[in-house]
Amino acid sequence: MSTTTQEIPSEVLRLLEVPALDDQYEAQLRGAACVWDGTPLTAETAVELGERRHRHLHGYFSTFPRGCVSCVADRAHRAVLDHCRMCEQCMEDGAICMVGRVLYRLVREGRRA
């Protein structure tokens, strides 16, 4: 089950914090392993976490981290708890907040995996 970045809006991707570059090994940096737990990934099992820009001595460079479904669900669960406490839309009616809905969907997808 692959989830593409088109399915995860940038507002949600920003809430799914990935480890610092120094805390990742080569397979994680190139998207071959989950950025959080190092699980090997395939096109079918990876969740694309979008482009991340990093400052370098000579400018900027990009990485394209990926996560396994269960780790994405765990991070989405943490993010939805933080987000819903501060979001007026979520406090009134969670169904109208796109960010909350997408985070909740990621949690559900992880539980099914």
How many Å apart are CA 28 and CA 106, to the nearest integer? 20
pLDDT tens readout for residues 1-31: 455 544 889 899 999 989 998 899 999 988 9
13: which 2 tokens?
Answer: 């991707």
How many Å apart are CA 41 and CA 34, to the nearest integer? 7
Identify the DSSP state of 108: H
pLDDT tens readout for residues 55-100: 888 888 888 899 999 999 999 999 999 988 888 888 887 778 999 9
Identify the DSSP state of 87: -
User: Does the residue 53 lie in any domain?
Assistant: yes
User: Does the residue 63 lie in any domain?
Assistant: yes
How many Å apart are CA 60 and CA 9, to the nearest integer? 23
User: Does the residue 78 lie in any domain?
Assistant: yes
Reduced to 3 states (helix: H, G, I; strand: E, B; else coil), residue 54 is strand
Number of domains the chain is built from: 1
Length of the chain: 113
Task: Decide: 37 and 18 in contact? Cβ < 8 Å.
Answer: no
User: Does the residue 5 lie in any domain?
Assistant: no
| Res 1: pLDDT | 47
User: How many C-beta atoms surround the C-beta of residue 106 within 10 A?
Assistant: 25
| Res 34: pLDDT | 97
Q: Which domain holds residue 81?
A: 10-112
pTM score of the predicted model: 0.84
User: Does the residue 1 lie in any domain?
Assistant: no
User: Does the residue 47 lie in any domain?
Assistant: yes
Residue identified by tokens 């708890």 is 81
In 1-113, where do the E strands start and end?
A: 46-48, 52-56, 59-63, 66-68
